[in-house]
Structures are given as structure tokens and as C-alpha cells.
Amino acid sequence: MNRRVALIANADTHVGPDLARILARRGHDLVLGDPVDGLADELRTLGVRAKTVAGTDDIAHPAAMKRLVTATMSEFGRLDAVCIRTGQIVTGAFLDAGQDDLALVVRENVEAVFHCLQIVLPRLIEQGGGQVLVITSASGAKPTPIAPLYSATRAAANMLVKNVALEVADKGVTVNAAGTNFLDYPGFIEASGASDAAVRKRIENAVPVKRLGRPEEAAHFCASLLDGQNMFQTGQFFSLSGGWSD
């Protein structure tokens, strides 16, 4: 029986590396977009095949996802699960925002999801099924005054996922979104200023669980939407934010 194949489009940071490790342990071969150094070799020690694809970090450009899917089919001849992480954090008051700020968040937070889904879904439909998880942001589920353009475009991406999921629900394909906030990884730390101990403490106090989340915690949740064990869950957005969003 052929092993399941999972494509992790962003394997360099956030939940990507930990998600790859979990799916490897659950019997998946993997295709990794721009993986963090050493990850592919680590996964191979677990007895899985791991294909790396470099130069695909600009996931908002259609060519990146096309390269990843082409590499997957060339290497394995099948594709069962896809995790796509999109997004560009832009902070600041709405009245201070400019046209360039708007164009950036629309491209990175909405157009990226549009292009990726249009490229991946026909392959899964043709194959007869599969799972897609789009990593967005919990700020798309709750007004975020310090990042209004970011929050608004994340909400748009979440709604796009929900609509697309219903369109393909009878094709054996599940499509869900999961959004983090307050996750302890370099992107959030840099954007929030949490490298300063006092700032980090203030941020942690804003989270109901009173701490930042660990990437591996989010990865465990994400894996449950990709490992083939639950094909009944689709068209949903899940907030992974320590109780912050409603």
C-alpha cells in the first residue's frame, strides 16, 4: 500500500518543522518547501522519504505552488495532504496606512490563498480526495486595532477557505483554515517586540492562558486535519490563540 504524501509549503518556521515531524511519525512521506537546515535529514532517520524544494518562499506567487506540486507528483506520483502558510504582518493605525500597505496585505494574505487553492484543488479532485489546511491568523476572527489591514485580510482568507470547502466538499476533499496568535516563534516575537522581557510580559497577560503558545502545540492540532484520519471536518476556521479570540 502506498504511503500518504504530505506537502508542507513552508517548512522553515512557524508550525512547519514540527508539523513535518509529526506527519513523518504518522507514516507520511513529505515534500518540504524551503525547509529549515537539517530537517529533511532528520525526517529521513525516521524512515520516510523527504523531498526538498528550494526557492518557493514567495507563496503568493503562483509559480511557487506550481513548482511544489510538480515536484511532489514527479517524486511520488500522488498528493494526499497540503499545508500552506500564508501571510504578511502589517501593524499600525488604519488612518496611517497607505495604498502600498493595502496592496501588500491583499497580496500576501488573500491572493496567496487564492492562487494556492486554485493550483492544489484540481489535483486533489482528479485524484479523488485529499486534505488542505491553510494557516492564516487568529486576528481574522477578532478585531485587532493594532493591525486592522492585517486582521481584515486574514478574515477574508478565512471566509474564502470556508466557501471553497463547500464547493469541493462532495469531491472527497477537505479544506480548513487554522490561525495562530501569540505563538512563540521568531516572526511573532519580532513583529510584537516580545524580545523585550517587559513587552513579552504585557503580551502574555493579554492571553487567557497567560503565556505564548509553542509551535509544536499548534502543529499537533494541525496534523489532525491532514493525516487522513478525519475526513468529516471541512469548511472550518480554528483559532489557536490560547483563548484570545471568540
CATH number at residue 195: 3.40.50.720
Q: Does residue 177 form part of some domain? A: yes
The residues, any chain, with a CB within 8 Å of residue 213's CB and separated by 6 or more, are 180, 182, 183, 184, 240, 241, 242
Q: CA-to-CA distance for 75 and 192, rounded, in angstroms?
A: 39
Residue 73 has pLDDT above 80, yes or no: yes
**CA dist 118 to 109, 168, 223, Å?**
15, 12, 22
Q: Does residue 43 form part of some domain? A: yes
pLDDT, tens only, 163-189? 999 999 999 999 999 999 999 999 889
pLDDT, tens only, 46-61? 999 999 999 999 999 9
pLDDT-derived band of residue 89, with 50, 70 and 90 as boundaries?
confident
Q: Does residue 190 form part of some domain? A: yes
Give SS3 for 79: coil
Q: Does residue 246 form part of some domain? A: no
* Contact (Cβ atoms closer than 8 angstroms) between residue 138 and residue 150: no
Q: Does residue 244 form part of some domain? A: no
Total tally of structural domains belonging to the chain: 1
Q: Which of 89-93, 128-132, 218-222, 237-241 has the lowest mean pLDDT?
A: 89-93
- Phi/psi for 132 (5° steps) reads -130, 135
Q: Give the mean model confidence (pLDDT) for residues 135-140.
A: 96
Q: Does residue 152 form part of some domain? A: yes
The half-sphere exposure of 181 on its side-chain side, counting CA atoms within 13 A, is: 28
pTM confidence score: 0.95
Q: Which domain holds residue 48?
A: 4-239
Q: Does residue 245 form part of some domain? A: no
Q: What angle do CA 119, 38, 60 make, to 5 degrees?
A: 25
User: What's the mean per-residue pLDDT of the chain?
Assistant: 95
Length, in residues, of the chain: 246
Q: Does residue 153 form part of some domain? A: yes
Q: Give the mean model confidence (pLDDT) for residues 39-43.
A: 97
